[in-house]
């Protein structure tokens, strides 16, 4: 074999090494570098998260407490009709207690206040003294439960003594409840 | 003879003054004429292997650089004789690039002939004396082997006249050389000397360096990936609590936001009765009250002065705005009108 042929063989060997060893290994190394960068970032995030785990737990506890407080304003029910009945009984009891006369009541169709929470509206036709109405409203709105006066439409008639004592009108009250399936 | 020669067709033989075979550059064994090598002998009375190695290293260094050095070690009890043969590198490369064994002619012939004998062949006479092997070409002055034997102090009985060529005697010498001593003539440095000025060593070195770099860097990346994976695997269980807390917080925050937006819709109607206090004080008549879910109140009033009532209502802190709606009707000494009232905030009292 001549020297020239040996050189050519060397070059061929070198090129084959490049093609089948160097290039694949370099490609593997490039992929490894990318993977290392990604994993380093992931690890840094994990370390940050571990460092802040106490604050995260504390924030979670606070948020959960706030959520529970917020949820406590909205009763939970699995039976809407039972809920409506109990609310109606409460309202009737308040009205009776305050000396108001309930001439008629009716329920409007249910509304979805938000996901999982319904709003039931009770319409009452009432009459009585203005003072009793205010006391009744105060009683309703002092409840911790979320109850909204949706609508109030009253006509006031002045008594002979000169004070606006009597009314007749309609009150719509909204009750909110979380429905459990 | 032809058969013998054909068996040694890889053997290239040069003999002093006699060119016996055409040059074959692929010959693995080269018998070198004495004109192209230097012989040096060292004797150690008591020699360990370490001493021998050191001596060879020192002598080889002194005989280089332009020579290929082979050694022939002859041990006799504790004593040791080392023969150094320094071959002319240029001559060797010129005649046999592939030669691995460089054999000095006097050395190989000494194995073919008995001690203190003279060999007479076609072209020359060779004497194996106590001082070593010497040869001379036939000439008119030196035409008899016996004369040559006498000049070398060898008895005529010890003259061997042969019509065989030098190749035969070299072959005879080869047969008699102990393998260990023949290995002493092994010299692979011819190949490296040949490529002293080519690029192959550079290529090999570069490939080696690149290979080492590639291997080490690959090992490093592999180790780094493994250590990262291990660390992530170790931290993952510790993170599960933090992740569950974070997820729980996120979900709770989202729910809380929705609940709070719902709770913020809560409106209070009781404060309107306090806000309407100026109407009672002015002895006005409240005839109609309507509250809508948008938080506004519409109130129908009969009073002596609509503007006076509106002014008074505007000054109430809990009222944000008072707007006259429609016309003011005049009824004898009274004015009948409607106002829209918006409470400031919507605070429960």
ipTM metric: 0.71
Best mean pLDDT range from A31-35, B96-100, B118-122: A31-35
Q: Which helix (H) or strand (E) holds B124?
A: strand B124-129
Question: Which range is least confidently modeled, A149-158, B15-24, B267-276, B319-328?
Answer: B15-24
Helix B200-263 vs helix A3-17: crossing angle, to nearest 10: 10
Best mean pLDDT range from A144-148, A171-175, B197-201, B273-277: A171-175
d(CA B90, CA B96): 10
Residues of chain A with pLDDT under 50: none
Contact B260 A70 (CB under 8 A): yes
Instruction: Check CB contact of B53 with chain A, cutoff 8 Å.
Output: no
Predicted local confidence at residue B18, as pLDDT: 44
Contact B221 A29 (CB under 8 A): yes
Closest-CA distance, A82 to chain B, in angstroms, reads 23
pLDDT at B11 exceeding the cut of 50: no
Q: Name B14's bridge partners.
A: B19
Contact B218 A53 (CB under 8 A): no
Predicted local confidence at residue B2, as pLDDT: 31
| Whole-structure pTM value | 0.49
Contact A29 B218 (CB under 8 A): yes
- Count the Cβ atoms, other than its own, within 10 Å of residue A63: 20
Closest-CA distance, B153 to chain A, in angstroms, reads 50
Write out pLDDT tens, residues A93-123. 999 998 899 999 999 988 888 888 999 999 9
Contact B246 A142 (CB under 8 A): no
Question: Which of B232, B252, B290 lies closest to A46 in CB terms?
Answer: B232
Please list the alpha-helical segments (H only) found in chain B: 2-7, 49-63, 89-95, 105-112, 145-151, 166-176, 179-183, 189-194, 200-263, 271-275, 277-281, 306-314
Instruction: Check CB contact of A170 with chain B, cutoff 8 Å.
Output: no
Overall average pLDDT of the B123-146 stretch: 80
Closest-CA distance, A175 to chain B, in angstroms, reads 11
Q: Which residues of B touch A176 (CB under 8 A)?
A: 262
Q: Rounded to a whole number, what is the distance in angstroms from the first to the last CA of chain A?
A: 89
Contact B243 A49 (CB under 8 A): yes
d(CA A25, CA B200): 24
């Amino acid at each position: 074999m001549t020297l020239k042929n040996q050189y050519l063989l060397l070059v061929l060997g070198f090129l084959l090494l490049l093609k089948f060893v160097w290039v694949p290994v370099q490609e593997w190394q490039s992929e490894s570098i990318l993977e290392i960068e990604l994993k380093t970032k992931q690890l840094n995030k994990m370390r940050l998260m571990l460092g802040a785990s106490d604050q995260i737990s504390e924030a979670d506890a606070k948020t959960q407490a706030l959520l529970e407080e917020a949820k406590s304003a909205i009763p939970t029910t699995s039976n809407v009709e039972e809920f409506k009945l109990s609310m109606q009984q409460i309202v009737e009891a308040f009205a009776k207690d305050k000396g108001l006369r309930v001439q008629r009541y009716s329920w409007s169709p249910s509304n979805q206040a938000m996901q999982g929470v319904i709003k039931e509206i009770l319409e009452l036709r009432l009459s009585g003294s203005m003072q009793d109405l205010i006391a009744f409203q105060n009683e309703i709105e002092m409840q911790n439960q979320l109850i909204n006066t949706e609508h109030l439409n009253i006509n006031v008639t002045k008594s002979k003594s000169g004070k606006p004592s009597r009314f007749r009108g309609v009150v719509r009250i909204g009750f909110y409840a979380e429905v459990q399936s | 003879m032809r058969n013998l020669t054909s068996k040694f067709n890889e053997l290239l033989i040069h003999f002093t003054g006699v060119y016996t075979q055409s040059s074959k550059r692929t010959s693995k064994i080269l018998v070198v004429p004495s004109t192209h090598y230097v012989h040096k002998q060292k004797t150690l009375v008591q020699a360990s292997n370490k001493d021998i190695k050191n001596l060879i290293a020192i002598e080889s260094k002194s005989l280089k650089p332009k020579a290929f050095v082979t050694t022939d070690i002859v041990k006799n009890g504790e004593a040791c004789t080392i023969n150094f043969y320094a071959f002319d590198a240029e001559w060797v490369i010129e005649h046999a690039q592939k030669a691995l064994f460089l054999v000095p002619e006097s050395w190989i012939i000494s194995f073919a002939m008995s001690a203190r004998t003279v060999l007479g062949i076609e072209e020359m006479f060779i004497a194996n004396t106590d001082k070593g092997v010497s040869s001379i070409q036939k000439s008119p002055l030196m035409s008899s082997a016996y004369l040559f034997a006498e000049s070398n102090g060898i008895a005529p009985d010890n003259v061997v006249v042969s019509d065989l060529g030098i190749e035969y005697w070299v072959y005879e010498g080869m047969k008699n050389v102990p393998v260990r001593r023949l290995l002493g003539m092994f010299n692979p440095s011819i190949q490296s000397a040949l490529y002293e000025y080519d690029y192959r060593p550079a290529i090999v070195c570069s490939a080696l360096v690149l290979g080492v770099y590639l291997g080490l860097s690959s090992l490093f990346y592999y180790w780094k990936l493994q250590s990262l994976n291990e660390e992530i695997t170790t931290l993952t269980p510790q993170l599960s609590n933090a992740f569950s807390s974070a997820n729980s917080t996120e979900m709770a925050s989202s729910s809380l936001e929705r609940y709070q937006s719902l709770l913020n819709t809560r409106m209070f109607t009781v404060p309107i009765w306090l806000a309407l206090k100026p109407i009672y004080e002015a002895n006005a008549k409240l005839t109609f009250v309507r509250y809508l879910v948008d938080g506004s109140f519409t109130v129908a009033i009969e009073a002596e002065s609509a503007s006076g009532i509106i002014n008074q209502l505007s000054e109430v802190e809990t009222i944000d705005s008072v707007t006259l709606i429609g016309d003011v009707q005049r009824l004898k000494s009274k004015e009948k009108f409607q106002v829209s009232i918006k409470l400031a905030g919507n605070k429960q009292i």
